[in-house]
Chain A
Amino acid sequence: DAKTTQPPSMDCAEGRAANLPCNHSTISGNEYVYWYRQIHSQGPQYIIHGLKNNETNEMASLIITEDRKSSTLILPHATLRDTAVYYCIVRDDKIIFGKGTRLHILP
């Protein structure tokens, strides 16, 4: 089973920041948190990952709580092209994807 819990769906207005939460309360000390997204039926695309510190790249920011039991993916200025299913994964030997969060960007 997936080690993460995400809301099934979220809406965000175009141009606003999209904040996608993820709970991973059973995460171990050396397990990384990874985020991917899947647009329609395309292959999932890597977004970002982190261990303890907050991370930022050209696509998104990742905020991990101090106790590492939850994280938030932030898309700073959501566009219609960000409409996708977003998966939060705690990486161990079996990379298990849950059902993710379906993000709808509203024009």
Chain B
Amino acid sequence: DSGVTQTPKHLITATGQRVTLRCSPRSGDLSVYWYQQSLDQGLQFLIQYYNGEERAKGNILERFSAQQFPDLHSELNLSSLELGDSALYFCASSVDAWTSDTGELFFGEGSRLTVL
């Protein structure tokens, strides 16, 4: 158990809909990262938050948005869903955004999104 909790574990929805994925980081971790993994693909970095502020942005679509709340949990909002958005969405947390020596990421078990 990594200590990172993601909900829901599975989600099935239709094209055009909107969903919210939730992530609770490990206790004490200030950074949250979101990744997308499509079938047989690598992990695509979407976005990172540190203590409530956006720190780094990757290949995140404009239809997607995220935020980190004062209690440090994070939500990833996916809207106008398309078939190609079907994927595993992973959240990870780490202690620090900047110190490379404490930078190991702890991953949740992912949220599997299926868009029909």
A contacts, CB < 8 Å to B: 30-32, 34, 36, 38, 41-46, 49, 51, 87, 91-100
Q: Are B45 and A97 in contact (CB-based, < 8 A)?
A: yes
| Contact residues, B39-96 vs A (CB, 8 A) | 41-45, 48, 55-58, 88, 90, 92
Given the complex of chains A and B, what is the CA–CA distance between A54 and B35 in angstroms?
29
* CB 8 Å contact bits of B26-47 with A (1 = contact, 0 = none): 0000000101010001111100
A82 to chain B, nearest CB (A): 18
Given the complex of chains A and B, what is the CA–CA distance between A95 and B97 in angstroms?
10
Contacts of B101 in A (CB 8 A): 32, 49, 51
Choose one: A32, A41, A49, A100; the contact of B42 (CB below 8 Å). Answer: A100
A51 to chain B, nearest CB (A): 7
Number of CB contacts from chain A to chain B under 8 A: 68
Q: Are A42 and B45 in contact (CB-based, < 8 A)?
A: no
Given A43-B110, A95-B45, 12 other A-B residues pairs in contact with their CB atoms under 8 A: A31-B100, A41-B110, A42-B109, A43-B107, A43-B108, A44-B105, A51-B100, A87-B42, A93-B56, A95-B103, A96-B45, A96-B58
Contacts of B35 in A (CB 8 A): 97
Q: Are A46 and B100 in contact (CB-based, < 8 A)?
A: no
Given the complex of chains A and B, what is the CA–CA distance between A44 and B2 in angstroms?
10
Contacts of A30 in B (CB 8 A): 100
Contacts of B110 in A (CB 8 A): 41-43
Contacts of B43 in A (CB 8 A): 38, 44, 87, 97
